[in-house]
Chain A
Amino acid sequence: MDGVHDLGGKEGFGPIDRAGEDEAYHTEADARAYALCVSMRAERAYPVDWFRHVRENIDPVDYLTRPYFDQWLQTAVAMAIDAGDLSMVEVATGKSDSLARTPVPMSPADVRAMLTTPANFEREVAESPAFAVGDRVGTASHGHPGHTRLPAYARAATGEIVAHRGAHLMPDDGARGIHRPEHLYTVAFARGDLFPEAAGSPDRIHLDLWESYLARA
């Protein structure tokens, strides 16, 4: 999706505001929005890719201007409405409609379990990896509607495989409800190959990219 979320390398952004950088939560509303969002997300087994894609579909002006966890909460609410767990009428009136489904909410014990159990996105696949460390690879020249994790700034670019990470669930498919693993690689690009003003720079930009984003260069 060619959305405003795809910010890497976009020009015109000014200095970085470091206000409040040592606070865990920036406001009380921020903390509540975060907690509401993560409490709702586990209510169904949503793929995280669908969560990210629903956030990407926030109105572009809201995406660029609203607080981060406020956007997370709106995303979780949009997902609940999409899945029929909540209705727009309920949001508009602020009143629960007893006809709607009432699932069992996440408990504090569920929270503890989530806080101490890392999610594993790696899966077994029958196919051997197509690329090896040291291979030169080129990235796809365009995106597609829907979710993807190939940023626009790294399209049609040539880089080098620096690591094979096993096969991980493929996000473009995950955001369509399809759980399919694919080989994942860390690819290093010369900064000068991605951005013309950086020609000759020693810097490298690393991205973790799925096999179908890549072709042998």
Chain B
Amino acid sequence: MDPSYDSGKVAEIHRHLHSHLPSEPALRVKALESLLVEKGLVDPAALDAWIEAYTEEIGPKRGAAIVARAWIDPAFKSRLLADAGKAVAEMGFAGQASGHLKAVENTDGVHNLVVCTLCSCYPFAILGMAPAWYKANEYRARAVRDPRGVLAEFGVTLAPDTRIDVWDSTAELRYMVLPQRPDGTEGLDEQALAALVTRNAMIGTDDLRGAA
């Protein structure tokens, strides 16, 4: 059957699922996994492939490599800011949620911060799994209303006249922040620079200027 596209029907299904499944998350997941595998709806080898990909292969190291490349190669940086989806594909990182990727650049006057207030959209192919705090109600509620308070909790204090540009991912565009290069890193090569790039800096909750 096609989906019903009926909000009331799925809300009722959720209520039934709540009453029929164990209340402990780990037990609930276990019960569903065993049923879905028995039913033939999922292949255990596919489950392992998903988990392995995001444990071993795909993570913020990709984003850090992109940032370091942009810091040392002005032509790449221009391509990244013009069409990040294409630029990251050049590096072999095209994947989930990278098709409409946008890179937003921090400058002396502007600090960028990324959130998804309506769900938890995130550029998986570039940054891997979102940290728990990014998906938490507190961050989703407060990032648009009180970005300075949020940043202060992460240890980032900005001058009052620095503008914060918040990007709420309400469509299929995904955002990554291009942080400012740390001071005193003129002699470092691409690899050494990449090691200084934190995942939080690419979301906007870290400032790397004093990191080296």
Q: Which residues of A contact B (CB under 8 A)?
A: 1, 5-11, 13-22, 24-29, 31-36, 38-40, 43-44, 46, 48, 50, 52-55, 57-59, 62, 64, 66-68, 70, 73-74, 77-86, 88, 90-92, 94-96, 100, 102-103, 105-108, 110-112, 114-122, 145-146, 149-151, 153, 165, 168-169, 171, 175-177, 184, 186, 188, 191, 194-195, 198, 202-210
Contact = CB atoms under 8 A, between A and B. Distances in A.
B21 A91 contact: yes
Given A57-B10, A70-B25, A106-B42, A35 B133 contact: no
Contact of A100 (B6, B15, B39, B47): B39
B108 interface: no
Nearest to A169: B172
Contact of A5 (B6, B54, B118, B172): B118
Chain B interface size range: 35 or more
B49 A203 contact: no
Given A13-B137, A112-B49, A188-B165, 12 more contacts: A32-B29, A32-B30, A32-B33, A36-B29, A39-B50, A73-B32, A74-B14, A80-B41, A81-B13, A115-B53, A191-B166, A203-B166
Nearest to B121: A52
A6 B117 contact: yes
Contacts of A110: 46
Given A96-B35, A204-B165, A16 B138 contact: yes
A59 B14 contact: yes
Interface string B32-46: 111110111111011
A32 B47 contact: yes
A206 B17 CA distance: 37
B29 to A, nearest CB: 4
A85 B50 contact: no
Nearest to A8: B117
A110 B162 CA distance: 46
Sorted from nearest, which 10 A-B pairs have the closest CB atoms?
Answer: A8-B117, A118-B99, A208-B171, A35-B50, A84-B1, A29-B26, A111-B49, A35-B47, A202-B163, A21-B131
Interface string B70-112: 0000000000000001000100001111111000000000000
Contacts of A115: 53, 58, 95-96, 125
A13 B46 contact: no
Interface of B: 1-7, 9-11, 13-18, 20-21, 25-26, 28-36, 38-43, 45-51, 53-55, 58-59, 85, 89, 94-100, 115, 117-120, 125, 128-129, 131-133, 135-145, 147-148, 150, 153-154, 161-173, 199-200
B144 A8 contact: yes
Given A32-B29, A39-B43, A206 B7 contact: no
Nearest to A186: B173
Nearest to A208: B171
B132 to A, nearest CB: 6
A146 B8 CA distance: 10
A149 to B, nearest CB: 5
Contacts of B31: 94
Contact of A22 (B54, B131, B153): B131
Contacts of A146: 7
A1 B165 contact: no
A169 B30 CA distance: 35
A58 B14 contact: yes
Contacts of B119: 5, 52, 55
A205 B168 contact: yes
Contacts of A206: 165-168
